[in-house]
Structure 1
Amino acid sequence: MTTLPPPAPGITPAPPAPPAHRPKGRAVVLVVVIGIVAWVAGLAGALLGGEVSDWLDKPPSRSSDEPINVAAPRGEIEQRVDVGEVVKYITPSVVTISADVEGGQSLGTGVIISSDGEILTNAHVVQDATAVRVRLAGESEPRDVTVLAADPGNDLALLRMSGDGFEAATFADPTSIRLGDEVVAIGFALGLDGEPSVTLGIVSALNRTIGTEGAFLDGLIQTDAAISSGNSGGPLVNAAGEVVGINTAVARDTAVTAATNVSFAISAAEALPIIEILRSQVEGDARDQAYLGVELDDRRDGGQGAVVVSVQEGTPAAEFGLEAGDLILAVDGAATDGSTGLIAAIRDLAPGDLTTLTVVRNGDELTIDVELTVRPDS
């Protein structure tokens, strides 16, 4: 089951999304980690992927032409974290975000990625906002920002504040992160005043795929560093203070104990190309999302693949012969990890791409070539 964080006491939340069937183990709730000051129904409403946001109209309204700081590949580095030094290094590049939404505020964290004021955060932090403000470490007064572009399907958004001379974070070489590396999660947990909260953990797993409200995310880093409401959009950093991921979600078992400290961050490998896509959107080159046209479910036996529940008329799935009851095992030879894995694989393709699906139908395995189209508006 997927849901947003719990509302403030006494406020009734919007109904959660229908639960996905999970045949093995306990049900796990995946929670995006915005802080909710006052709940509003519809905060989780999905935006059209790949379109430039018109939520706000405050200058500056163009993206930066400054390249993102990415560390050069290097040999073995010290993986033990000096937390104090890491915090001192990264804190000037971390901001707290307050977004006005109907009936209240959502709170999150952001990372400064250019000296002229670009900020990266999760799309769900600023979704449906009528005004967004940020506060830098050491400052008492918030700054207004513009939401330049958002990609809800990848749960990333690009903001910009006025001014220059800001300290931009450095992203780690995407190939450098390894299982067992110590990492630090930094963010404004629970929207508390003062300096950001800091938690230490390790990289527990790589290339995870999860579903949250409005997004199916893949290529994620799993960590046991504790992440709380308000941490969304904050950096997960390595021993050198370099950003290896953007904190996004936390898993909670319905029995409370089984999913302790299972948190997820969008990896640098995923985030860096999305930043450039968002920048191109700001300049008018909107990114269209690929579309197949099927309703999916997971297998009841917990095996590989995704089950086609229905096929929508007039879609690539219908045109190229997919049928209800088909079991899709792979996309272009890469195995699909349930419905979330298949959706993530299609999302990573582009309209017009010809993709090969490995399908089991009535016990027979076959391949179906499908030309994807543009995702419709609704």
Structure 2
Amino acid sequence: MGFYDNRSQRTSPLLIAVISAIIGGLIVLLFTPLLIQSGVIKLPTTNQVSKAPGPTQVTTVKVNTDITKAVDKVRPAVVGVESIRKADGFFSEEERESGSGIIFEKRNGKALVVTNHHVIENSRNVRIVISTNNNTPKVVPAKILGKDKVTDLAVLEINDKYVTTVAEFGNSDVLKAGEPAIAIGNPLGLTFSQSVTVGVISSPKRTFQANEYISTDVIQTDAAINPGNSGGALINTAGQVIGINTLKIAERGVEGLGFAIPINHARPIINNLIKSGRVPRPYIGVSFLGNLYQLSDGERDLLKLPASVTGGVIVESTELASPAAKAGLKRLDVITSINGKSINSVVDLRTYLYNKTTIGSTVRLTVYRDGKKQSVELELQEAPPNLAG
């Protein structure tokens, strides 16, 4: 008696998958060329090959604006000014102060540079640092032709061997608030030489007491002016120097308050410094105790002034043979006006003398002596060099 196995024959799923893959691959190999030739399958061309994300082309843009043109025109004429001073102390080490200057004239093998008086004040040596075309700075010795503390200006002379550009002076009388202003100089020293900052003319005429001698009109700008910019150029978009950067207000919380000497005010000063090394000025020949508004009530009572007199300057003494001495001015006289212009301070008096009068002209002073008002006329003389500020 035989035994039979009634279970059906089964094929492995793995074997079926392998066989199917082989058959599918053969079909693809056989039929793909036919499908490409018939156009059913299209291969990508060279121009259609995808590229990695990012820029595919470098483009050079040539920027040429009025500002860049102006900077290119003037920048080579703006130089560094290095003042070397002998410091106080046991070892007498040298101190160096850096500022800026503007080359404005070139003749007979020499070049002239204008800068601020405070940059070269009390210096033993002054050197000019010129940037050349290959960016190698050239240091040349400078001679001080003249300086004026009152207007904070000085003129230097150098050999013109490395000078390639001379700045052109513009007209500061036609400036308008809001027009572009470009400052070029060396903020914080020669490391940042010929730095360019841009702003506007905040005010073309701002009366400012620049120092203890005089109140003067300055250009106010919001172009950044920092220590080291002193003596540098403030220019317009035509590439003309319209001002000489001189100071900024650096109080905490204050920004954008820089000032420049108007170039039209600087021109006659520069010419005098070239011609004679100083600025001839009229003077009346007095020294002052101070301003009337600074007195206490008790001190004011000693002068016996009427209550209506609130401003004036108090005479301390007169110079020998001076206009004041010849006119009979005395100690404790109070000058309250000059040519009808009220005087509230010594600065007011000097400002009027320097800006509104000339040597040899006659002025009329209103004076109170022992409380009594009188009028005094005197002829102005040229101030001696040691008294010209």
Taking structure 2 as the reference length, what is the TM-score of the superposition?
A: 0.65
Say whether residues 1:83 and 2:82 are aligned partners: no
**CA shift in 2, pair 1:367/1:313, >3 Å:** closer
Bigger-Rg structure (1/2)? 2
- 2:282 corresponds to: 290
Q: Which amino acid aligns with 1:260?
A: E
**Which residue does 2:101 correspond to in 1?**
110
TM superposition shift of 1:192: 4.0
Q: Distance in 2 between matches of 1:306 and 1:240?
A: 45
Q: CA deviation at 1:100?
A: 0.6
Paired letter, 1:100: I
Q: Which of the pair has the greater relative contact order for Cα pairs under 8 Å at 6+ separation?
A: 1
What secondary structure sits across from 2:238 in the alignment? coil
> Structure 2 matches for 1:153-302, cutoff 5 A?
153-163=150-160, 166-205=164-203, 206-212=205-211, 215-253=213-251, 256-257=252-253, 259-281=254-276, 287-292=279-284, 293-295=286-288, 296-297=290-291, 299=293
Contact kept, 8 Å, 1:209 with 1:341, in 2: the verdict is: no
Query: Counterpart amino acid of 1:290?
Result: P
Name the SS for the 1:158 alignment partner.
strand
1:99 and 2:83 aligned: yes
Work out the percentage of aligned pairs sharing the same amino acid: 28
Q: Deviations over 1:183-217 (max 9, x none)?
A: 1222101104144222223323305231326x435
- 1:297–1:339: 8 Å Cα contact kept in structure 2? yes
Following superposition, the deviation at residue 353 of structure 1 comes to: 2.7
Structure 1 residue ranges without an equivalent (≥5)? 1-80
Aligned residue for 1:372? Answer: 380
C-alpha separation between the residues in 1 aligned to 2:373 and 2:115? 42
Kindly tell me the number of residue pairs found equivalent between the two proteins: 289
Residue 349 (structure 2) pairs with residue 342 (structure 1):
yes
- 1:340–1:200 CA distance, 2 compared to 1 (3 A): farther
| Closer, same or farther: CA 139–281 of 1 in aligned 2, 3 Å | farther
Alignment partner for residue 130 of structure 2, among 123, 126, 136? 136
Q: Is 1:289–1:350's contact at 8 Å kept on the other side of the alignment? A: yes
Instruction: Give the letter aligned to residue 191 of structure 1.
Output: G
**Aligned partners of 2:141, 2:170: CA distance in 1, in Å?**
29
Q: Indicate if the aligned counterparts of 1:305 and 1:327 stay in contact, CA closer than 8 A.
A: no
- Which amino acid in 1 is paired with 2:271? E
Do the aligned residues in 2 keep the contact of 1:185 with 1:199 (CA within 8 Å)? yes
Secondary structure (helix, strand or coil) at the match of 1:167 reads coil
Query: Mean Cα displacement is larger for which, 343-352 or 150-159?
Result: 343-352
**Paired residue secondary structure (1:226):** coil
- 1:305–1:374 distance in 2 versus 1, CA, 3 Å: farther
Greater helix percent: which structure? Answer: 2
Residue 229 (structure 1) shift:
0.9
**Gap runs ≥5 in structure 2:** 1-64, 88-94, 296-307
Aligned-pair CA distance for 1:298: 6.9
CA displacement, residues 352-375 of structure 1 (integer Å, 9 cap, x when unaligned): 332234567899876532322343
Give the residue type in structure 1 aligned to 2:79. V
Q: 1:337 to 1:180 in 2, by over 3 A?
A: farther
Measure, in 2, the Cα distance between the counterparts of 1:289 and 1:210. Answer: 19
Matched, 1:123 2:113: no
Q: Quick check: 1:107–1:191 contact (8 Å CA) kept in 2?
A: yes
Amino acid across the alignment from 1:123 = H
Q: Distance in 1 between matches of 2:342 and 2:179?
A: 27
CA distance in 1 between counterparts of 2:344 and 2:383 reads 22
Separation in structure 2 between the aligned mates of residue 373 and residue 110 of structure 1, nearest angstrom: 33
RMSD of the TM alignment (CA)?
3.2
TM-score by length of 1: 0.66
Instruction: Please list the CA deviations of residues 29-84 of structure 1 after superposition, one character each: whole Å capped at 9, or x if unmatched.
Output: xxxxxxxxxxxxxxxxxxxxxxxxxxxxxxxxxxxxxxxxxxxxxxxxxxxx8433
Shift of 1:335: 5.6
Q: Residues of 1 paired with 2:309 and 2:258: CA distance?
A: 24
Q: Is the CA contact (8 Å cut-off) linking 1:120 and 1:159 kept in structure 2?
A: yes
Match of residue 354 from structure 1: 362
Query: What letter matches 1:181 in structure 2?
Result: E
Change over 3 Å in CA distance of 1:151–1:91 after alignment to 2: same
